[in-house]
Amino acid sequence: MDVLDMIETRRYSIHSSLAPEYRETVLNARQQLRERGAAELPGFLTPSAVQLFTEDATYVSNRAYRSEGMGTPYLETPDDGQWPASHPRRLQSRSRVSAVGYDLIPLTSPLRLLYEDEDVRRFLEAILDVPVLFRYADPFGALNLSVMDEDDELGWHFDQTDFVVSLAIQSAEQGGDFEVVPNIRSARDERYDDVQRLLNGDEIEVVTLPMVPGTLLIFRGRHSIHRVTPVSGHTPRLVGLLGFDTSEGTMSSRELRIDRYGRSDAFGEPPIEWPSP
């Protein structure tokens, strides 16, 4: 299937930057990013493409590696001597999730074809209003399939990147909600009191973004704390994570690779396809 056949081009004319629909979509997405740090593009995939992506992701998910641990919202090792025990910099929450790295996603996967498509990259450039986007150079982190099964979750955290691009493929039976407090901090004000109130259970400002298969999400998580609630049921939550950056050559550390993928060395060439399990 051609990439444009996967996308609802009557609504998102990503191949035609001069079309009125294109400009309207881009301006609307930019406004969403300004106002709440997240731009949702529901129905980005056609219904038939959603089914295709689900079947492919289910097949690829057998290669996922599960990581689990406790961490702070700032994804750092806290300095016990600098912060009191109750400070947000030291409060920890649980995360458990599985991931398939880029080097294990087959060349024939529709998720890979979408990620590597130039029209898609230029469309994201327009929404983010940047001169150029580069795909990650990282053979693991450039493209991930995130797999969340029974009892998996992601604790409250801020991202260490300026933005994340994700594609909702399959919802869990229960849970797996993406919750966010938009712009709770800024580059000039950490607003630790507000973060601490949230971590202590005050969720008055929490916004839930629906997990609807086929939705493309551009999310600025550096200043918006967010989490994925615990998953339950037999249907896994499947999400594609598309790695782009405004700088060329983005790589992950050896430590992160081992933690997230269970290995530090990538396969030399991605498979054309995996044999059926």
Who's near 133: CB < 8 A, 6+ residues apart?
A: 121, 124, 125, 244, 245, 246
Q: Which CATH architecture has domain 3-261?
A: Sandwich (2.60)
Q: pLDDT at position 275, please?
A: 67
Radius of gyration of the chain (CA): 19
pLDDT tens digits for range 28-38: 999 999 999 99
Mean pLDDT of 136-150: 97
Mean pLDDT of 2-24: 94
178 touches 215 (CB < 8 A): no
Q: At what angle do helices 20-36 and 118-128 cross, to 10 degrees?
A: 50
Determine how β-strand 174-175 pairs with β-strand 231-232: antiparallel
Q: pLDDT at position 276, please?
A: 61
Residue 277 has pLDDT above 60, yes or no: no
pLDDT-based confidence at 203, cuts 50/70/90? confident
Q: pLDDT at position 114, please?
A: 98
Who's near 203: CB < 8 A, 6+ residues apart?
A: 179
User: Is the whole-model pTM more than 0.85?
Assistant: yes
Amino acid found at 134: F
Residue 188 has pLDDT above 90, yes or no: yes
SS3 assignment, position 193: helix
What percent of the chain has pLDDT above 70? 97
The structural domains of the chain, with segments of one domain joined by +, span: 3-261
Q: pLDDT at position 86, please?
A: 87
pLDDT tens digits for range 212-246: 999 999 999 999 999 999 999 999 999 999 999 99
The tokens for 150 are 């029974």
